[in-house]
Amino acid sequence: MRKFHSIALCALVLFASAFLLSAQTPAHSPVSDRAITALSVTGTVSELKTDTRQVIVTTAAGNQVTVTLSDRTTFMRIPPGEKTKDKFIRVSPTDFGVGDSVFARGRMTDDRKSMPALEFYVMSKGDIAERREREKDEWRKRGLAGTVSAINAGTKEITIDARTAEGPKPTVIVTTAETKFRRYAPDSVRFSDAKPSTIAELKAGDQLRVLGTKSADGRLTAEEIVAGSFQTIGGAIAEVNADKHEIKINDVQSKQPVTVVVTKDSLMKRLTPELLTALTPPKPGAGANAAPAKQNGDLQEMFDQLPAVTLQELKPGESILISSTKGADPARVTAIAIVSGVGPLLENNQAGRPAAVSLGAMSLGGP
């Protein structure tokens, strides 16, 4: 099992991090959609009907609510980063457009498909892009990622094997009463689907991303932590169903069939011969003539340049690796990333020859 994870992470870790926050989840019914309540809807403007003064708001889960505007509706714009109502800016009924994010308040109909709006709050696409870029920059500068190795419930400290340019480095994360915890939902790596959590839900082996301030002794005081449990499975393709967007494989670890759901956001790549050479361990007896393993930086560049592959190009009998969250049903997973062309790696694992390089745990992105 340990050998398999070493090989699997080599093939997936480097490019999965850029993808984690964009993976989609299946649509929910309006009744179960958390963005639709009895008194509000949160989503994106997908259509404007100026003649009837109606706005079609589409939620992250894909449900639509028809919001009717009137002379009684109050319109406000939310500046990036502001959370208190006294900082909001009153705008006119025409100061928004398709693609803007909105929060509307009113009384929802029983079927949760329409609502007359008393309040209509807008954040423009430009403001959202500016806020996201600022947050990404903040996480790049003050963020740290790694694998949870120990948790001290008494001192509320977390030890992680942090990823650094020099390799994994133990780092102590100090949490306080102000630290915000979030945990990725099963079968979803969208940050918007992550739920409020606590340190009690963390466990060794979780992948963790933390935003905070580092002290002189190397400890980091956390402002925000997002964590989740992920897995990598692999095996030969038994069937490809392009109509259902599903792949069936025979998992080499469990020896059981697994159905892999492929969404429009699943990242699909194919290993090149050059990267296979970098990841494949030398044969027994190769000695000093064996080519040295590539360094992390070289591998990162190679992964970034891997060619994309489509579901239709995958064929039965081909070996693939799949990265996913740990859902409720181990026999059915939703793919974050799929890597094909990994047959030699799995063959080496089954022959008892572990990968020549280990690139650490899968990376998580920030919000």
pLDDT tens by residue, 53-95 = 999 999 988 899 999 999 999 999 888 777 778 889 898 888 8
With 0.85 as the threshold, say if the pTM is over it: no
* Lowest mean per-residue pLDDT among 162-176, 215-229, 243-257, 266-280: 266-280
Question: What is the mean predicted confidence (pLDDT) over 256-282?
Answer: 81
φ, ψ of residue 27 in degrees (nearest 5): -65, 145
Is the pLDDT at 13 greater than 60, yes or no? no
Helices (H) and strands (E) in the chain, counts: 5, 21
Give the pairing type, strands 257-261 and 220-228. unpaired
Considering only residues 79 and 3, tell me which one the structure prediction assigns the higher pLDDT.
Answer: 79
- Cα–Cα distances in Å, from 346 out to 3, 108, 332, 338? 10, 53, 21, 14
What's the farthest any 2 CA atoms get from each other in the chain? 82
Q: Which class would CATH give 40-127?
A: mainly beta
Number of neighbouring beta carbons within 10 Å of residue 116: 17
pLDDT digits (tens, 9 = 90+) for 119-171: 999 987 777 677 777 777 888 889 888 889 999 989 999 999 887 766 678 99
Q: Which CATH class name applies to 2-26+230-282+291-350?
A: mainly beta
| Spatial distance between the Cα atoms of 211 and 1, rounded to a whole number of angstroms | 32
Mean pLDDT over all residues of the chain? 79
The DSSP call for residue 3 is: H
Amino acid at 165: A
Q: If you average pLDDT over residues 181-198, what whole number do you get? A: 78
- Residue 218: other Cβ atoms inside 10 A: 11
pLDDT at 351: 52
CATH architecture of 131-228: Beta Barrel (2.40)
Which residues have CB under 8 Å from 327's CB, separation 6+? 186, 187, 333, 334
Q: What is the pLDDT of residue 258?
A: 95
Q: What is the pLDDT of residue 294?
A: 46
pLDDT band with cut points at 50, 70 and 90 for residue 225: very high
Q: CA 11 → CA 101, 117, 139, 331, 352, distances in Å?
A: 36, 50, 25, 22, 18
Q: Provide CB contacts within 8 A for 299, sequence distance 6+.
A: 10, 14, 275, 278, 279, 357, 359
**How far apart are the C-alpha atoms of 204 and 222, rounded to whole Å?**
18
With cut-offs at 50, 70 and 90, classify the pLDDT of residue 117. Answer: very high
Neighbours of 179 (CB within 10 A): 20
Q: Where are the domains of the chain?
A: 2-26+230-282+291-350, 40-127, 131-228
Structure tokens at 183: 């945990």
Q: Would the pLDDT of 181 be above 90?
A: yes
Name the residue with tokens 């992390």.
296
C-alpha–C-alpha distance, residues 328 and 331, integer Å = 9
Q: Do domains 40-127 and 131-228 have the same CATH topology?
A: yes
Higher pLDDT, 302 or 221: 221
Q: At residue 316, does pLDDT exceed 90?
A: yes
Mean pLDDT value across residues 318-326: 87
Over 50: is that where the pLDDT of 247 sits?
yes
Is the per-residue pLDDT at 210 higher than 80? yes
Structural tokens at position 105: 């308040």
Q: Quick one: pLDDT at residue 169? A: 85
- Please state, for a pLDDT cut of 70, what percent of the chain lies above it: 75
Contact (CB, 8 A) for 209 and 184: no
